[in-house]
Copies of this chain bind each other. A is one copy, B any other.
Amino acid sequence: MKSYAVAIVGATGLVGQEFIKILQQRQFPLGNLRLFTTDRSAGKKVSFSYQDVLLEELHSSSFKHVDLALFSAGAEASCHFVPVAMKDGAVVLDTTAAFRLEESVPLVVPEINPQDLRRHSGLIANPCCIAIQIAMALFPIHRVNPVRRVIVDSYQAVSGSGASAMEELSLQARLILEGKNVIPHIYPHQIAFNLLPEIDVFLDNGYSKEEWRIVRETRKIMHAPEIAISATAVRVPVYIGYSAALHVEFSSKITPEEARGILGASPGVRVLDDPSVSLYPQPWVAAGQDDVFVGRIREDISLPNGLALWVVTDNVRKGTALNAVQIAETLIERGWL
CB distance from A294 to the nearest CB of B (A): 12
- Contact status A197-B310, CB under 8 Å: yes
A155-B284 CB under 8 A given contacts A198-B278, A230-B306, A276-B202: no
For A150, list chain B residues within 8 Å (CB). Answer: 302
A275-B230 CB under 8 A given contacts A189-B284, A190-B284, A194-B284: no
* A215 interface residue per 8 A CB criterion: yes
If over half of A's interface residues share one DSSP class (helix, strand or loop), that class is named, otherwise mixed; here it is: mixed
CB distance from A281 to the nearest CB of B (A): 8
B215, B256, B282: the one within 8 Å of A206 (CB): B256
Contact string against B for A residues 273-309, beta-carbon threshold 8 Å, 1 for contact and 0 otherwise:
0011010111111000000000111111111001010
Name the CB-closest residue of B to A208.
B275
For A229, list chain B residues within 8 Å (CB). Answer: 301-302
Number of copies: 2
Could you tell me the distance between the alpha carbons of A190 and B205 in the complex, rounded to whole angstroms?
38
Name the CB-closest residue of B to A187.
B278
Give the contact-size bracket for chain A. Answer: 35 or more
- Contact status B193-A284, CB under 8 Å: yes
* A186 interface residue per 8 A CB criterion: no
Contact string against B for A residues 220-246, beta-carbon threshold 8 Å, 1 for contact and 0 otherwise:
000000001110101011110001010
* A121 interface residue per 8 A CB criterion: no
* A177 interface residue per 8 A CB criterion: yes
* A164 interface residue per 8 A CB criterion: no
For A193, list chain B residues within 8 Å (CB). Answer: 169, 237-239, 284
A202-B275 CB under 8 A given contacts A207-B298, A306-B230: yes
28 contacts between A and B (CB under 8 A): A151-B302, A155-B234, A155-B236, A170-B177, A173-B177, A190-B284, A193-B237, A194-B282, A195-B243, A195-B282, A196-B282, A197-B243, A197-B295, A197-B296, A198-B275, A198-B278, A205-B299, A228-B301, A228-B302, A229-B301, A229-B302, A230-B247, A230-B301, A230-B306, A232-B247, A234-B243, A236-B236, A236-B237
Residues of A within 8 A of B (CB): 149-151, 153, 155, 169-170, 173-174, 177, 188-190, 193-198, 202, 205-208, 215, 228-230, 232, 234, 236-239, 243, 245, 247, 256, 275-276, 278, 280-285, 295-303, 306, 308, 310
